[in-house]
Amino acid sequence: MTNAPKTARERARTEITGEILQIARQQLTRVGPGELSLRAVAREVGMVSSAVYRYFPSRDDLLTALLISAYDELGAAVEAADASVRRRDHYARRWLLSCRAIRAWAVEHRGDYALLYGSPVPGYAAPQSTIPAASRVTTVLVGIAVEAYAGRIDDAPWDDAVPRKLHRTLASARNFAAALQGADTDPPDELIVRTLMAWSTVFGTISFELFGHLVGAIEDHAVYFDAVTDRLARDLGL
């Protein structure tokens, strides 16, 4: 059964919604997420502010739409990078290209990246509806680590002896990795810890670059980023 074609009103609404989001993304780059203003967006779109509220009832609704759009765009870029490599025996290559795709998108979309991974916007809490889109990148990176660990045949298993307090606090991450692994047994805590450290290091390195914290320390950010991701790959046993 095919979907019914959109009416002229529906098409117009889709186009105007897209224009509002595009202008809002440009504003993110200029002023940052904390200063995003529906009134300012309305002026640039050429609408009165009351008209914009028919599309986005509040600033929070606009922020949520921007989050989902940006997460989905970044997720698609990383998924495409991962899919460009053969599934088995090329875990390190998959990891490198996926991480490069994150950085490339971030460098090209600095305002969007600041919204996703920068300082929280005062008074705004992302709703549950953003989780599926936000999980796409995580699913790729964790999936590579989990697949690689499951395929280890020449190395001894990692030591799983972690403090009980740490074991308890890893429960959510362990469940996420187990779901990706598709096995009845839980992934070892050591894998979870190493993957969390790698994941946070990837985004921490990008954030340090984009927010100016590496000024005077690094001359070629791309070279440095590749070196970091390579070390992370080795730590993950890829």
The reply to whether domains 1-57 and 70-235 share a CATH topology is no
Question: How do residues 182-214 score in pLDDT, each as one tens digit?
Answer: 655 678 888 999 999 999 999 999 999 999 999
Query: In the chain, how long is the greatest CA-to-CA distance?
Result: 66
CA atoms within 13 Å, Cβ hemisphere of 113: 19
- What SS3 string covers 124-159? CCCCHHHHHHHHHHHHHHHHHHHHHHHCCCCCCCCC
On the question of pLDDT at 84 being above 80, the answer is yes
In whole angstroms, what is the distance from residue 61 CA to residue 72 CA?
17
> Any idea which fold 70-235 has?
Tetracycline Repressor; domain 2 (1.10.357)
- Percentage of residues in the chain with pLDDT exceeding 90? 49
- pTM to 2 decimal places: 0.87
Please, which residues have CB within 8 angstroms of residue 97's CB and are 6 or more apart in sequence? 81, 82, 84, 85
CATH topology of domain 1-57: Arc Repressor Mutant, subunit A (1.10.10)
Span 112-121, average pLDDT: 90
Is residue 1's pLDDT more than 50?
no
User: Are 228 and 203 within 8 A, CB to CB?
Assistant: no
Contact indicator for 122, 34 with CB cutoff of 8 Å: yes
Domain-by-domain residue ranges, the chain? 1-57, 70-235
In 3D, which of 52, 58, 55, 59 has the Cα closest to residue 35? 59
